[in-house]
Structure 1
Amino acid sequence: MIEDTLVKPMRILLVDDNPNNLKVLSEAIQGHGWKALMANDGESAIEQAEYAHPDLIILDVMMPGIDGFETCRRLKANSITQHIPVIFMTALSDALDKVKGLEIGAVDYITKPFQQEEVIARLKLHLKISHLTRTLEQQVEERTAELTQSLQQLQHTQLQMIQSEKMSALGNLVAGIAHEMNNPLGFISATLKQAKPNIGDIIEHLQLYQKSFPNANEEIINHAEEVDLDYCIEDLSKMIDSMVMACDRIKNISNSLRTFSRGDRDYKQPFNLHEGIDSTILILKHRLKANEHRPAIEVFTEYGNIPEIECFPGQLNQVFMNILANAIDALDESGAGRSFEDITANPNQITITTFVAEKQVKIIIADNGVGMSEEVQEHIFDHLFTTKGVNKGTGLGLAIAQQIIADKHDGEIDCLSNPGKGTKFVISLPI
């Protein structure tokens, strides 16, 4: 029997205004090992059902106050009692009344005068159905939880694969470009440095000719005026210096590319976060420059005295890249509809701050863009969630960023934002 399989005996709430009916039903129920709860009107039945949570209710239809139909309606409208099976007990034989009771949530009818054997048989049936239903619901909930966990694990693995493949491909590409740049760059730089003293010797030799033969012919004088010889001599050295500086600039860019694409090993390694941030800013510099729609975006770095941390440098650089790229997108969006002069008066800005607090390195990346609503903030780290238009965002950037910070580095990444007041990302990494 059902009651033998459970730790607690089944509890059945009997609701009838006739004390004799309650007594007979109570004795029959207790004779089968069930526990009888009793109420003599609808109001007390509802109150008792809320705190006692019976396994089944036998409910008389004709009662003073609220009748059985209204009592059943209230029980089914209450989230606490709506799942308790209700069996109506009535002397009414009209089929319409029975249909009415079934429509409002009853599972069965017992007709007065009742036979104890029939009542017990029906109770056994509906208690068994109720038990099976609860067991099935529990199994469905457990299976749903398992499927949800499997889906989350699948998404987690997918993010790892995407992030790994992306960083691997990007790292190989950038490292290859940086390597190929370095060969001709080294040749140009070395040649310029060697050419400068040679050109100086040639100019000095030319000046000796001018002193030795001060009376130049008309053709030489005219040509000197035509090419502005004095200016050429003065400017040539500056041109060489400018080209050497340009080579140094390209070399810095190449080094930044190599820093950004720094390959991660299977274990963490010491890394200067400021170098990673600087290299990311340099790579994004083309997006920060002024265009026909807005002036240049200003980037301010307020670096504190932070130590190197054990981490996966390439992965953290990708986090910086994702957040800074999103900040630029937000500032471009905030500029839509504003005049060039208005943006100049209230410039677009990104501020990056680092400091140590509570044995953690804090990196704050803040912009004064459009900001986000509370609803959007709740989903920005969700897999495939994006507010950008078609072909403008994958919805993976911040999901990957959170995975890198939380799962790979035992850190935290939080977002603070208000519409029209900008957005601030706070990254916390353990030292």
Structure 2
Amino acid sequence: MMADSLSKPIRILLVDDNPNNLKVLSEMIQGYGWKALMATNGESAIEQTEYALPDLILLDVMMPGIDGFETCRRLKANPITQNIPVIFMTALSDSKDKVKGLEIGAVDYVTKPFQQEEVIARLKLQLKISHLTYTLEQRVQERTAELTQSLQQLQQTQLQLIQSEKMSTLGQLVAGIGHEINNPIGFIEGNFSYITEYTNNLLHLVNLQQQKLPHPEPEIEELLNQMDFEYLAEDIPKLLASIGQGIERLKGISLSLRTFARSDISSKMEFQIHEGINSTLMLLKHRLQNKKDRPTIEVITQYGNLPPISCYPGQLNQVFMNIIANAIDALDDLNQNHSYQKIAACPNTITITTSVNYQQETVTICIQDNGIGMLPEVQTRIFEQSFTTKPVGKGTGLGLAISYQIIVDKHNGKIDCLSIPGEGTKFIITLPI
């Protein structure tokens, strides 16, 4: 329950087994005019929450006794404490912990080491959400519609924070890998041309010597026989051609990594949609390839003559990644009940079709699979935040919610889903040029 700002200060319960962390956080919070309550373990935190009813709980994940996850579960199971917002504290690299915390019922997280501005901003956001919720309960008759809209906007802001952080981290990582492997690829490619030239010259020299000196010394004759020069002369060009193909493949992967990672958060830019789709398919190629229990998933691309569109390329690539990865999951779920031979007889396919409507100044991207499809009650909820049909640990329920926000809110577009159980699913994305 939100504290009344006129009667008493905001009370925040800090739960951490590290005294130094408690000291830093309490000084930060008290400096902002809030009151800090402290607990060093989960049992004590639950006890304090029940009698003190703080406005918000900042909860460490790793603690002796019951950890932060179990503490949060018990708080959410208690009607007295279940509505108090919980923000987890976790290390920056613990992405699984962040997702797990949100699934359990936490509203947000802050990362260690602490950044004061980030901590205060996230606390203020959640306190504001709590205040709006409390106010909504008090003024249902006169302000329900207005406060519901505000709450939805704040939830979208929270989703956007997660999406922005995810894209920033992923974008930096993928772009860094792309640039990192680009340098040795360039070095190999540059030297490869010289190796090819030198090898061809040497082979030409030996051939010329054999023509001009058809009866070499016995020692040379023996060496040529030992190395099987005729086979070597025939095989070396094939090896060089194979190496050349490998270099081109590496260049394609490097380009796909850099194309996919374009985050361009600050402003829109002209972008060719097909580049984004192709880079996404390149990064997912390992999931599409032949496996011991199923043949290769065939990707069919039917591209129209699309003009470049003004957009945020990195964010659109994230949408393509979410939808195509979900299609692969759906096909793999279907394959669990079928033999390799049966799948080969009716191949798994993902069909990507693009078109342009110059009259409406829009482009359309359709991504369709022939997987298990969805029931109507599932189809109506797929864009809801945190809704997922996947087992715990396999999905967060954020992928399609983020995709919806990117298409609708960021690009003023539309995203629709058509699905028939047992036949497959189609996502239709429409974007303004």
Please indicate the TM-score interval, normalised by the length of the shorter structure.
Answer: 0.5 to 0.7
Paired residue secondary structure (2:368): strand
Cα distance in 1 between the residues matched to 2:316 and 2:214: 67
* 2:417 maps to amino acid: C
What is the correspondence of 1:45-60 to structure 2 with a 5 Å cutoff?
none
Deviations 1:60-116 (A, max 9, x none): xxxxxxxxxxxxxxxxxxxxxxxxxxxxxxxxxxxxxxxxxxxxxxxxxxxxxxxxx
* 2:302 maps to amino acid: E
Paired residue secondary structure (2:381): coil
Pair 1:421 & 2:423 matched: yes
In the TM superposition, residue 146 of structure 1 has moved relative to its aligned partner by 5.4
Cα distance in 2 between the residues matched to 1:259 and 1:142: 50
Equivalent residue, structure 1, for 2:125? none
What is the correspondence of 1:131-210 to structure 2 with a 5 Å cutoff?
139-142=139-142, 145=145, 148-210=148-210
Cα distance in 2 between the residues matched to 1:351 and 1:341: 22
Equivalent residue, structure 2, for 1:326? 326
* 2:279 maps to amino acid: S
Equivalent residue, structure 1, for 2:249? 249
Deviations 1:272-312 (A, max 9, x none): 11111111111111110010110000001111122211111
Q: 2:394 aligns with which of 392, 395, 405?
A: 392
Cα distance in 2 between the residues matched to 1:172 and 1:365: 27
Cα distance in 2 between the residues matched to 1:307 and 1:202: 49
* 1:274 maps to amino acid: H
What is the correspondence of 1:281-430 to structure 2 with a 5 Å cutoff?
281-357=281-357, 358-430=360-432
Deviations 1:365-417 (A, max 9, x none): 00000000000011100000011111111100000000001000111100000
Cα distance in 1 between the residues matched to 2:387 and 2:282: 28
* 1:409 maps to amino acid: H
**Structure 2: which 5+ residue stretches go unaligned?**
1-135
Paired residue secondary structure (1:353): strand
In the TM superposition, residue 233 of structure 1 has moved relative to its aligned partner by 0.9
Cα distance in 1 between the residues matched to 2:343 and 2:225: 48
TM-score (structure 1 length as normaliser): 0.65
Paired residue secondary structure (1:395): coil
**Structure 1: which 5+ residue stretches go unaligned?**
1-135
Cα distance in 1 between the residues matched to 2:153 and 2:139: 21
* 1:237 maps to amino acid: P
Whether the aligned pair in 2 keeps the contact of 1:264 and 1:313 (CA below 8 Å) is yes
In the TM superposition, residue 144 of structure 1 has moved relative to its aligned partner by 5.2
Cα distance in 2 between the residues matched to 1:216 and 1:366: 67
What is the correspondence of 1:70-149 to structure 2 with a 5 Å cutoff?
139-142=139-142, 145=145, 148-149=148-149
Paired residue secondary structure (1:267): coil
* 1:405 maps to amino acid: I
* 2:312 maps to amino acid: F
Deviations 1:120-149 (A, max 9, x none): xxxxxxxxxxxxxxxx99933446555543
In the TM superposition, residue 269 of structure 1 has moved relative to its aligned partner by 1.4
Equivalent residue, structure 2, for 1:239? 239
Cα distance in 1 between the residues matched to 2:184 and 2:427: 40
Worse-superposed segment, 258-267 or 389-398: 258-267
In the TM superposition, residue 151 of structure 1 has moved relative to its aligned partner by 3.5
In the TM superposition, residue 270 of structure 1 has moved relative to its aligned partner by 1.2
Q: 1:228 and 1:137, CA in 2 relative to 1: closer, same or farther beyond 3 A?
A: closer
Q: 1:311 and 1:137, CA in 2 relative to 1: closer, same or farther beyond 3 A?
A: closer
Deviations 1:311-341 (A, max 9, x none): 1111111111100000000011111110101
In the TM superposition, residue 227 of structure 1 has moved relative to its aligned partner by 3.0
Deviations 1:251-282 (A, max 9, x none): 11111111111131422211111111111111
TM-score (structure 2 length as normaliser): 0.65
Paired residue secondary structure (1:387): coil
Worse-superposed segment, 258-267 or 417-426: 258-267
Paired residue secondary structure (1:410): coil
In the TM superposition, residue 202 of structure 1 has moved relative to its aligned partner by 1.4
* 2:243 maps to amino acid: M
* 1:315 maps to amino acid: Q
In the TM superposition, residue 229 of structure 1 has moved relative to its aligned partner by 1.5
Cα distance in 2 between the residues matched to 1:172 and 1:139: 45
* 1:416 maps to amino acid: L
Paired residue secondary structure (2:341): helix
In the TM superposition, residue 218 of structure 1 has moved relative to its aligned partner by 5.3
* 2:305 maps to amino acid: N
Cα distance in 2 between the residues matched to 1:192 and 1:137: 71
Larger radius of gyration: 1
In the TM superposition, residue 196 of structure 1 has moved relative to its aligned partner by 1.1
Paired residue secondary structure (1:354): strand
Q: 1:351 and 1:374, CA in 2 relative to 1: closer, same or farther beyond 3 A?
A: same
Equivalent residue, structure 1, for 2:73? none
In the TM superposition, residue 153 of structure 1 has moved relative to its aligned partner by 2.4
Whether the aligned pair in 2 keeps the contact of 1:381 and 1:399 (CA below 8 Å) is yes
Whether the aligned pair in 2 keeps the contact of 1:405 and 1:429 (CA below 8 Å) is yes
Paired residue secondary structure (2:139): helix
Whether the aligned pair in 2 keeps the contact of 1:193 and 1:244 (CA below 8 Å) is no
Worse-superposed segment, 193-202 or 149-158: 149-158
In the TM superposition, residue 185 of structure 1 has moved relative to its aligned partner by 0.7
Q: 1:222 and 1:338, CA in 2 relative to 1: closer, same or farther beyond 3 A?
A: farther
* 1:302 maps to amino acid: Q
| Count of equivalent residues | 296
In the TM superposition, residue 220 of structure 1 has moved relative to its aligned partner by 4.4
Q: 1:219 and 1:380, CA in 2 relative to 1: closer, same or farther beyond 3 A?
A: same
Paired residue secondary structure (1:379): coil
